[in-house]
Every structure is written in C-alpha cells, then in structure tokens.
C-alpha cells in the first residue's frame, strides 16, 4: 500500500512511499540479526569514528535535512535548523561515549568481580511526528554506541528525514543492515516489532495510550522498554519571579505549535501577580509570528494534520482570554490560544499537544506544588522565582523528570531526559541514555587455586 506524505502548511502531497508490512518488518529484523555479531565486534575506536562521521554528514547536510523536516512537519525553518544541529551533537556525544561506558570492579571474597556493559541485540525504535529526526537520534546514538543493531520506524506522517538519515548512515560507512528504516503503520510495523521474538528492546516515544500497548505487548517476550510519553507540565510563576522574563517566554508552550511533550501547557501563577503576568503574557503571545514555515522570521507553523487540528480544537470550547492570528485557507492552522482554567478542567488534565495555554491561579508555595503534582503525568516543568531556597525546595517537591529554574529549556545532549509517573520511564540523552541500550553483566574470577 502506498502512503501519501503531506505538507501541513499547504496540504499538498510531497511524497508517495511504499509502506512496509509484517513481512518487510520480519526481513528488516532478520537483516539486523544477521549483522549484529559483526557490529558488536567493531573496535570501540572504529565505532566511535563511524558515529562521528554520521555527525559530520548531518552537519554537512544540515540545511537539506532542516528543509525536509520543516516541510514535512510544518515547523519553522529556524527551529528545524536548531533541531538538526542537535541531531549532529547527539551523534558527536555518543561517538565520544563509546569508550567511556565503563564497567566496575567490585570487592568480593576469593577472587575478583567485575561488570561489563553488553549490547542487547536488535532494538526496535518507534518515534513520533513532532520532532522526527531529533527523537530518532536520541535513540539511535546510544543504541549504536552500545553495539546494537536497529530497526527504526518513523511516524507515518513524517518519515522523510529518517529515510534521508538512513542513506547518510550508509554513506558514513556503517554497514548495511545495522540501521534499517521502515516506513509503515504503527499498528502493523510498530506492533510487529513489539511482538517479534528477535527484537530485544523497544525504544518508544509517543502517546501514553500507545505506550501502554507497548508495555503490554513487550511482556510476552520480556522485552526491555523505554517509554517517553505524554506530559502536562507546569510552569510555576511565583510573585517574587522576574515576571517580565517569565512572561516573555511564550514559546514554553507555543514552540513547535505546542506539539511538544515538554510543553508547559499549565501555567500556574501566584494570585498576587496573576493579572500583571497575564497581561504581559498576552502581549508576548501577540508577538508570536505565525505563518509560512519556510520563512526565516516565522516562529510558529501549522499543526501536523487535519485530524490533529480537530483534536486540538476540541479543547477550546468556552471563551479564550486570547486567540491569536493564523493564516486562513489551506493548511492545518491553529492560533495561539490562552484560556483561564482550574486544574480540574479537561484542558488542564489532558495533553492538548497544540498551542493552547491554560492559566491557573494559586495561593502560595504549598498550593503550587499540590496543583503542579495533581496530574497523572510527570515529564518536565519550570519554576520562576528569585528565591534560591524556594527554587530548590520546589524542584525537589515536583514529581517530574526534567525541570528548569528561571528557564524553559528541557533538553540538553549531556543531561538525562525522561518522565515520572505516566510520562514513562527510562532515560534518554546523557550517559544515562546508554543504560537503556545495554545490559550489565557481572563476572567473578576466582583467584584461588
């Protein structure tokens, strides 16, 4: 069956692709299984060199990849350039990590005990459409660094950058079969990877709903899983914060048109500064440039699909305190929208995954922590205050995996990324990312006799 890939800004088809089914998935797993012994035996310095070469090729093809990503996802070209830059950084980081993923020696009676980090085998990587190549690289980098071979399934909506990366991986000299990119449906290819007895692990990013299916399916073969799922993160603004700075950062929720698992889509504001903050936040949001993703000055593009726009719209049923401008006509456009809410409202409970910010008032620190934690999710969040002790107290009290103080940035190549609660488990990025793609083996050598 063929798949038509659309440009979300124009609704025009940009590619027609053949979709893989169960048979092609099995063939890809067989190829990855066959080359696994050779790939895991590549000397660490050589594996590092190959990953470094992938990073360099991504840099050399940066503009081309950014254009592919921008056109396929509808994301502004400036943002896409930054994301491709990060993809290169990820490969550089894990190239450097190959020979620094040490084992331990452990005191033991009668001999010496030591640990080794062994690869898992063939890993299945299923990624979403919001940051297609970026999220793929967070999994590919550590998986390859540890010596695993890979079947990568991009989202149906956004397969183009992964296909191009598959070519660059070969050009870098990584042998055929080590990285297999399969375009196909989640319910077919994704499902088969979960079931396949020769797949050792699923690295998954996507909805909590599908994450649950991954976990259930993985149980049959005791597959390892890393789940990076949804979020409903809080941006907590205290009265002693630099309000102007906090309000001037509307991208914490509107970046990537809100299609971001780290979107701070609940903005918790202390009552004493609520009106001042809201006014400044509306002014900043009015300034967000929405339009043609190919234009350098554009800050927000359309949503990814018509179906997704429908879902996002369903969250704005009452009066919005602010609704911005968006192009009319073709394209899956949705304006920046600000609503006042309580934490019990649907817009504050469920992941909207669109440019909709829910502003929620709170009384004091205890109340802020209670509301921020009153969600099944626990991915990211921000704390805005000039009081250092409070910043640390609240950071320790929040049930979330990735927090920032006086900043809205969540993702760094060097630091672990992942969720608490129903936002998933396992960590990506940083040296911790390697833990999810290796097993610890303990070996005891007797020194007696």
Stretch that binds ligand NDP, among 199-207, 247-255, 337-345, 432-440 (CB under 6 A): 199-207
Residue 121 Ramachandran class (φ > 0 left, ψ -120 to 50 alpha, else beta): left
Tokens of 285: 């949001």
The answer to the question of residue 302 lying near ligand NDP (CB under 6 A) is no
CA pair distance 403, 252, nearest whole angstrom = 12
Pick the closest to residue 308 from 343, 266, 256, 245 (CA basis): 256
Stretch that binds ligand NDP, among 122-130, 162-170, 370-378, 427-435 (CB under 6 A): 122-130
The answer to the question of residue 210 lying near ligand NDP (CB under 6 A) is yes
Check if the beta carbon of residue 403 is closer than 8 Å to that of residue 393. no
CA pair distance 129, 127, nearest whole angstrom = 7
* Least CB distance to ligand NDP at residue 154 (A): 6
Residues in 142-181 that interact with ligand NDP by CB under 6 A: 153, 155-156
Buried residues in 140-161 as b, exposed as e (16+ CB within 10 A): bbbbbbbbbbbbbbbbbbbbbb
423: Cα separation from own chain's centroid: 11
The answer to the question of residue 230 lying near ligand NDP (CB under 6 A) is yes
Check if the beta carbon of residue 191 is closer than 8 Å to that of residue 33. no
- From the list 190, 258, 418, 436, which residue makes contact with ligand NDP (rule: CB under 6 A)? 190
CA pair distance 241, 407, nearest whole angstrom = 11
Q: Where are the alpha helices (H) located in 343-425, listed in sequence order?
A: 346-349, 365-373, 388-397
- From the list 126, 134, 161, 404, which residue makes contact with ligand NDP (rule: CB under 6 A)? 126
CA pair distance 281, 235, nearest whole angstrom = 13
The answer to the question of residue 83 lying near ligand NDP (CB under 6 A) is no
Residues in 11-50 that interact with ligand NDP by CB under 6 A: none
The answer to the question of residue 213 lying near ligand NDP (CB under 6 A) is yes
* Least CB distance to ligand NDP at residue 3 (A): 9
Tokens of 254: 């509107």
Per the listing, tokens 């299945």 go with 124
CA pair distance 439, 449, nearest whole angstrom = 31
Stretch that binds ligand NDP, among 98-106, 107-115, 222-230, 280-288 (CB under 6 A): 222-230
Residues in 254-293 that interact with ligand NDP by CB under 6 A: 261
Check if the beta carbon of residue 130 is closer than 8 Å to that of residue 260. yes
Q: What three-state secondary structure class fits 250?
A: coil
Stretch that binds ligand NDP, among 167-175, 227-235, 328-336, 358-366 (CB under 6 A): 227-235
The answer to the question of residue 418 lying near ligand NDP (CB under 6 A) is no
- From the list 206, 301, 335, 378, which residue makes contact with ligand NDP (rule: CB under 6 A)? 206
- From the list 40, 49, 67, 185, which residue makes contact with ligand NDP (rule: CB under 6 A)? 185
- From the list 119, 121, 132, 186, which residue makes contact with ligand NDP (rule: CB under 6 A)? 186
> To 5 degrees, how large is the angle CA 324–CA 283–CA 252?
75
C-alpha distance across the termini of the chain, in Å = 66
Q: For the window 337-376, what string marks contact with ligand NDP as x by the rule CB under 6 A? A: --------------x-x-----------------------
Tokens of 240: 């002693």
- From the list 97, 140, 229, 300, which residue makes contact with ligand NDP (rule: CB under 6 A)? 229
434: Cα separation from own chain's centroid: 16
Stretch that binds ligand NDP, among 185-193, 277-285, 288-296, 384-392 (CB under 6 A): 185-193
- From the list 93, 129, 138, 315, which residue makes contact with ligand NDP (rule: CB under 6 A)? 129
Check if the beta carbon of residue 156 is closer than 8 Å to that of residue 132. no
Check if the beta carbon of residue 223 is closer than 8 Å to that of residue 200. yes
* Least CB distance to ligand NDP at residue 354 (A): 8
Residue among 146, 261, 262, 336 flagged as catalytic: 261
Residue among 69, 83, 156, 228 flagged as catalytic: 228
| DSSP β-bridge partners for residue 357 | 338
* Least CB distance to ligand NDP at residue 190 (A): 2
Stretch that binds ligand NDP, among 141-149, 204-212, 320-328, 409-417 (CB under 6 A): 204-212
User: What is the number of the residue whose Cβ is closest to ligand NDP?
Assistant: 186
Whether 261 is catalytic: yes
In this structure, the dihedral spanned by the alpha carbons of residues 203, 206, 211 and 214, taken in order and rounded to 10 degrees, is -50
Active-site annotation, residues? 228, 261
Footprint of ligand NDP on this chain (CB under 6 A)?
Answer: 126-130, 153, 155-156, 185-187, 190-191, 194, 205-207, 210, 213, 228-230, 261, 351, 353
């Amino acid at each position: 069956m063929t798949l038509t890939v659309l440009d979300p800004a124009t609704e025009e088809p940009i590619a027609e692709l053949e979709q893989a089914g169960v048979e092609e998935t099995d063939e890809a797993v067989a190829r990855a299984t066959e080359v696994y012994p050779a790939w895991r035996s590549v000397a660490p310095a050589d594996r590092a060199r190959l990953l470094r070469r992938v990073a360099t090729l991504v840099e050399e093809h940066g503009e081309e990849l950014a254009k592919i990503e921008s056109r396929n996802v509808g994301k502004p070209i400036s943002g896409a350039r930054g994301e491709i830059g990060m993809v290169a950084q990820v490969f550089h980081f894990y190239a450097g990590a190959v020979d620094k993923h040490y084992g331990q020696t452990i005191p033991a009676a009668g001999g010496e005990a030591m640990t080794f980090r062994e690869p898992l085998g063939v890993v299945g990587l299923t990624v979403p459409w919001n940051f297609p190549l970026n999220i793929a690289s967070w999994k590919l980098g550590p998986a390859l660094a540890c010596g695993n071979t890979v079947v990568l399934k991009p989202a149906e909506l956004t397969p183009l950058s992964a296909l191009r990366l598959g070519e660059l991986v070969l050009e870098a000299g990584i042998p055929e079969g080590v990285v297999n990119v399969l375009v196909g449906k989640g319910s077919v290819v994704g499902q088969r990877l979960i079931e396949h007895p020769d797949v050792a692990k699923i690295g998954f990013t996507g909805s909590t709903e599908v994450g649950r299916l991954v976990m259930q399916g993985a149980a049959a073969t005791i597959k390892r899983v890393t789940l990076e799922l949804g979020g409903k993160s809080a941006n907590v603004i205290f009265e002693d914060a630099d309000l102007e700075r906090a309000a001037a950062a509307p991208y914490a929720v509107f970046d990537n048109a809100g299609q971001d698992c780290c979107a701070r889509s609940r903005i918790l504001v202390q009552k004493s500064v609520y009106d001042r903050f809201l006014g400044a936040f509306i002014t900043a949001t009015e300034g967000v440039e929405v339009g043609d993703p190919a234009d350098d000055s554009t800050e927000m593009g359309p949503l990814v699909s018509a179906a997704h726009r429908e879902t996002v719209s369903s969250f704005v049923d009452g009066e919005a305190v602010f609704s911005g401008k968006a192009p009319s006509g073709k394209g899956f456009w949705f304006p920046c929208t600000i609503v006042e809410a309580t934490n019990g409202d649907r817009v504050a409970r469920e992941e909207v995954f669109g440019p909709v910010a829910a502003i929620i008032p709170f009384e004091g620190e205890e109340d802020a922590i209670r509301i921020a934690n009153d969600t099944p999710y626990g991915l990211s969040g921000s704390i805005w205050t000039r009081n250092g002790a409070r910043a640390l107290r609240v950071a320790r009290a929040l049930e979330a995996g990735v927090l920032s103080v006086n900043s809205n940035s969540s993702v760094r190549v060097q630091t672990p990324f992942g969720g608490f609660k129903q936002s998933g488990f396992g960590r990506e990025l940083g040296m911790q990312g390697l833990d999810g793609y290796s097993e610890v083996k303990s070996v005891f050598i007797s020194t007696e006799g």
